[in-house]
Amino acid sequence: MTDRMDLPLEETLDRCLARVLAGESPDAVLRDHAEMDAALRPLLTQAAALRAVSVPAPSTGTRAAAMSRMLAASRDAAEHYQPAGVLAWLGSLRARPLAFQAIAAAIALAVLGSAGLGASAATGTTPEPIRTFFRLPDTSDSSVRAHGTVVSASADALVIDDNSTQVAFLLDANTAVTRGGDHVNWSDLHAGESVDVRATRRANGDLAAHEVRAQAAPAPTASQAGASSTDAAPPLKTSEANRTERPEDGHATGTPNSADDRRGTPDAGGDHRGTPEAETPKPEDGHTAVPGDEHEGTPPQAEATTTHGGPGPSATQTPEPTEVPETQSHGVGEDTPAP
Residues 65-104 that bind another protein (CB under 8 A): 65-67, 69-78, 81
- Taking CB under 8 A as the binding criterion, the range among 3-11, 236-244, 309-317, 318-326 that sits at the site for another protein is 3-11
Site membership for another protein, residue 37 (CB under 8 A): no
Cβ(171)–Cβ(186) below 8 Å? yes
Whole-number Å distance between alpha carbons of 189 and 178: 10
Numbers of helices and strands, H then E, in the chain: 8, 8
Question: Which lies closer to another protein via its Cβ, residue 18 or residue 108?
Answer: 18
Q: How far is the CB of 4 from another protein (least distance, A)?
A: 11
Question: Which lies closer to another protein via its Cβ, residue 14 or residue 285?
Answer: 14
Whole-number Å distance between alpha carbons of 251 and 153: 22
List % helix, strand, coil for the chain (3-state, nearest 5). 40, 15, 45
Question: Which lies closer to another protein via its Cβ, residue 46 or residue 114?
Answer: 46
- Taking CB under 8 A as the binding criterion, the range among 1-9, 173-181, 267-275, 326-334 that sits at the site for another protein is 1-9
Q: How far is the CB of 5 from another protein (least distance, A)?
A: 11
Geometric angle at alpha carbon 288, from 165 and 163, rounded to 5° = 10
Residues 270-289 that bind another protein (CB under 8 A): none
Question: Which lies closer to another protein via its Cβ, residue 50 or residue 122?
Answer: 50
- For the four alpha carbons of 258, 264, 266 and 271, in that order, the dihedral sign comes to positive
Whole-number Å distance between alpha carbons of 13 and 60: 37
Question: Which lies closer to another protein via its Cβ, residue 5 or residue 86?
Answer: 5
- Taking CB under 8 A as the binding criterion, the range among 51-59, 110-118, 241-249, 287-295 that sits at the site for another protein is 51-59
Q: How far is the CB of 283 from another protein (least distance, A)?
A: 52
Whole-number Å distance between alpha carbons of 152 and 195: 12
Query: Residue count at the site for another protein (CB under 8 A)?
Result: 40
Side chain identity, residue 167: V
In order, the DSSP letters of 230-281 are: HHSPPPP---GGG--SS--TTT-------GGG-TTSTTSSS--TTPPP-PPP
Strand partners, 177: 212
- Taking CB under 8 A as the binding criterion, the range among 44-52, 174-182, 193-201, 219-227 that sits at the site for another protein is 44-52
Q: How far is the CB of 49 from another protein (least distance, A)?
A: 7
From 63, 96, 135, 246, residue interacting with another protein (rule: CB under 8 A): 63
Question: Which lies closer to another protein via its Cβ, residue 71 or residue 102?
Answer: 71
Q: How far is the CB of 1 from another protein (least distance, A)?
A: 9
Site membership for another protein, residue 21 (CB under 8 A): yes
Site membership for another protein, residue 51 (CB under 8 A): yes
Pairing, β 165-170 against β 157-162: antiparallel
From 38, 56, 123, 297, residue interacting with another protein (rule: CB under 8 A): 56
Whole-number Å distance between alpha carbons of 277 and 274: 9
Cβ(318)–Cβ(274) below 8 Å? yes
Interface residues with another protein (CB under 8 A) are 3, 6-7, 9-11, 13-14, 17, 21, 42-43, 46-47, 49-58, 62-63, 65-67, 69-78, 81
